[in-house]
Amino acid sequence: MAMQSVLLANEHLRVMVLPLGARIHGIQVNRGEGDWQQTVVGYDNLTDYQADTSYLGCTAGRYANRIAGAMFELDGQSYQLEANEGANLLHGGINGFHNQQWRIIRQHDTELTLAYHSADGEAGFPGNLDVLQTISLVDSEVHIKYWASADKPTVVNLTNHCYFNLAKHQDTRQHWLQLRAQRFVEVADTGIPTGALLKVDDTPFDFSTSTEIAKQLSSHHPQLAQFEGFDHNFEIHKNKHSALQDVAVLYAPDTDLSLVVATTQPGLQFYSGQYLSAPFQAHQGICLEAQQFPDAPNQPNFPITRVDPHSPYQHSIVYRFAVGHVML
């Protein structure tokens, strides 16, 4: 089935957006002389996106990442959610935002605004939630802005789930990564946090300086062993002087291209793509998901994900592309 996607373009970037799941299914970077380099992993047709189980390029919600036991308590009331990863909820459930048809509200050459209404009780979440997402191009940057308003207390965690590959080949383990993080969230073998934040010092989770991902993957660490790679949330080391800040740099030596991720979010989930399957291969793409912490509604020590009426959810993500090895 053919895809009817929206093209955003300027002289530096071409971005393709699919209203199904508000998915970014293409980001092409102008390398000059008519050479447009694709930087994200995607399918060629709509049918594959409808059957997709890897969340390629989608907007994950109403709650991205995992919630333990697919339930949480808010103001003394328990809410049973839609379990879709064993007993837990992942990325909003089977019919999360990734499987919903978003409405196009505004469309220009370099800007697109999409909307979705999540009804009270959808996937078990309380409250009607109206979500707006604006994707815009500014020079060599892709800006994503989320805004969501609820009519009763609820929890919200939205992110973009692009799989990035900045190289000319299908293995991203030769990419280099730098993260503005001093701690990461320890998880059980289910991906659910234990509640502990571990220091990255002297572990393969230390990306405080730019490091080849393959080198860290070859290290022995129980947190890596249980997932055969990375699928962990890093606590962003916040700059008190700026809400939006650069938090990650991904670099591919063979193309000399860097991706800088900036966000207002408190966490960044680094997933090394080890479970990608046909028609793709393991490690063909890398996810850098700026978001709230996993299972935060059940973890009192994690940043608050509660959204109340008259206090809307607002967060931003920026993807900036640059030639050369950028450093934080």
Active site residues: 161, 289
**Any idea which residue has 């993260």 for tokens?**
179
For residues 231 and 272, the answer to whether their CB atoms sit within 8 Å is yes
Q: What is the largest CA-CA distance in the chain?
A: 61
Beta-carbon count within 10 A of 65 CB: 26
Please spell the DSSP secondary structure of 114-174, one letter per residue: EEEEE-TTGGG--S-EEEEEEEEEETTEEEEEEEEEESS-EE-B-EE---B--SSSS-GGG
- Residues making up the chain, counted from first to last: 328
β-strand pairing of 36-38 with 313-323: unpaired
DSSP 232: E
* Distance in angstroms (rounded) separating the CA atoms of residues 161 and 23: 8
- The DSSP element (H or E) to which 105 belongs, if any, is strand 103-107
Distance CA 93, CA 104 (A): 23
Residues 6+ apart with CB under 8 A from 102: 19, 20, 21, 22, 59, 114, 115, 116, 133
